[in-house]
Structure formats: structure tokens, C-alpha cells
Structure 1
């Protein structure tokens, strides 16, 4: 019993001495919105890696686009990211949610592609059958001799 009390006091002492590395910013982005922003940033970074020239030719700055979409500025994003990074368990949770969301989106896109491919294949085979049956029903014209 005394050991449990001592252990509890030691744990209380350790946790009460934890120093906050970064103060919570006044304009902190909520966690759910931060997940969406981080997901968009991951997609933007992937797009930059595939064809940045196409984005530039269309006058699109991907990072600015994300900031405008979520009505934030770069300072607010950096401050919020730094704050969440100072809380490793929270930060890990955020990124696990981002990863899960991206994975779900990937699986949905694969499923949509399978459905589209199946429909395309069905359409091609139906078209071939129709063309084939039309050839059989149309009499061939013979040239006069």
C-alpha cells in the first residue's frame, strides 16, 4: 500500500514538472481542421513531385491554394504545426488520421477504377456483339456485272 502511494507521488511529481516547450498559440488550428490541411499538403507535395510544371503553367501555387482553401495563413499553419509537434502523442494521432484518410481515399479510388474498367469492358463487348449482329443482318451489296 505504501509502495503504491510512493509510486503515485513520484508519478505526480514527474508529470507536474513537465515543462511546456511551446505555448498554445492564440490562433491555433483545431485538430480536425489540421488533419484536413495536412492531408491536402501531402497531396500537394505528391502533385509537386509528379508535374510541377503543369501547376506553374496554370498559375497555381499549391501551398497558397491550400492556405486559401482553409482560410489560414502560413504563420498560423507554422505556429499550429509547431505546437502540435511539441505534443508528440497528439502529433502522432494527427498524422495517423491523415494516413488513414489517405489510405481510405486510395482504396476508394481503386474501387472506382475497377468499376469504371468493368463498365468499359462491358461496353466494348456489347458494342462488338451489336456490330457483329448488324453485319449478319445487312445484306451485302454485289456490284452489277
Structure 2
């Protein structure tokens, strides 16, 4: 939540000025930035809905992102600030990420609706005898 507030604050500060943010040393192009934001959104939604699964796998989302995009937290922050200094371009990237997320959600919903329902594989027990039939 703090990161989101930080990004929004940066967006509002740099939206009124000329580009004063230099291009990062480890620059991610628009396509890479879109993929990175998509991965972050996907991992965040997984963390919210399936946190126990990720915890049991000992999955470190940040380490995954850093390894996949060959960057560190500083490079990631610099790229976020850089793209935030171009509000229209950043808005287009976020819009494309949103469209990808919606398409993925719709695809999963369609697959879930067409799949047969899963029945639990629990062996059936015989019914218990009535209480009045039990003699001490």
C-alpha cells in the first residue's frame, strides 16, 4: 500500500513538470515494463487469494521478479519513477496490463465453466446405528 501511495505521489509531482528524471542505467523498454507490471499484478492477486499456497511453496515473488527481469530493487524503482514521469505513456502501459488481466480472468472463468465439477474422492461410510439400538 505504501508503494502505491509513493507512486501516486510521484506521478502527481512529475505530471506538471518537464521530464527531469533521467533514463535508468538498467532501462526496461515499454514492452518489458508492461510485462513486469503484469507479473507484479498477477503475483499480488495470487498473494491475496492463495497466500497459504505461496507460503507453503516458500515462493519469493520479489526474487522471482528481480531474476526474471535481471534487475534489483533500485533499478525497478528507477524504472517506475522514469515511466511515472511520462503520465500518458504510463497510463497506456497500465491500460494494456489491465486489458491482459481481464482477458486472463475471462479465459479462466470460461475454462472453469466448461470443466466438469470435481467430486471429492472420499470413501462413503456406512450409516451409524440409531442410539437406542446400542446396549451397554
Is the TM value for this pair above 0.5? yes
Asked if 2 retains the 8 angstrom alpha-carbon contact of 1:29 and 1:80, the reply is: yes
Q: Provide the C-alpha distance between the structure 1 equivalents of 2:50 and 2:113, rounded to a whole number of angstroms.
A: 25
Asked if 1:82 is matched to 2:81, the reply is: yes
| Equivalent position of 1:126 in the other structure | none
State the match for 1:41 in structure 2: 40
Structure 1: gaps of 5 or more residues: 1-17, 122-145
Alpha-carbon shift at residue 78 of structure 1 (Å): 0.9
Q: 1:32 Cα shift?
A: 0.6
Please name the residue that 1:95 is paired with.
94
Q: Encode CA deviations 1:9-52: one digit per residue, 9 max, x unaligned.
A: xxxxxxxxx63231111221011111111011011111222343
- Are residues 1:65 and 2:64 paired? yes
Output the TM-score relative to the length of structure 1. Answer: 0.62
Deviates more, 1:78-87 or 1:41-50: 41-50
Counterparts in 2 of 1:115 and 1:57: CA distance versus 1, 3 Å: closer
- CA deviation vs aligned residue, 1:68-111 (integer Å, no higher than 9, x gap): 22322222211111100011001101100100000111111112
Bigger Cα Rg: 1
TM-score, L = length of structure 2 = 0.66
* Alpha-carbon contact 1:35-1:97 (below 8 Å) kept: yes
Which one has more relative contact order, counting CA pairs under 8 Å at least 6 apart?
A: 2
Higher helix residue share: 1
Q: How many residues align?
A: 103
User: Could you list the runs of 5+ residues in structure 2 that have no partner in the other structure?
Assistant: 1-16, 119-136
Shift in alpha-carbon separation, 1:65–1:22, aligned structure 2, 3 A: same
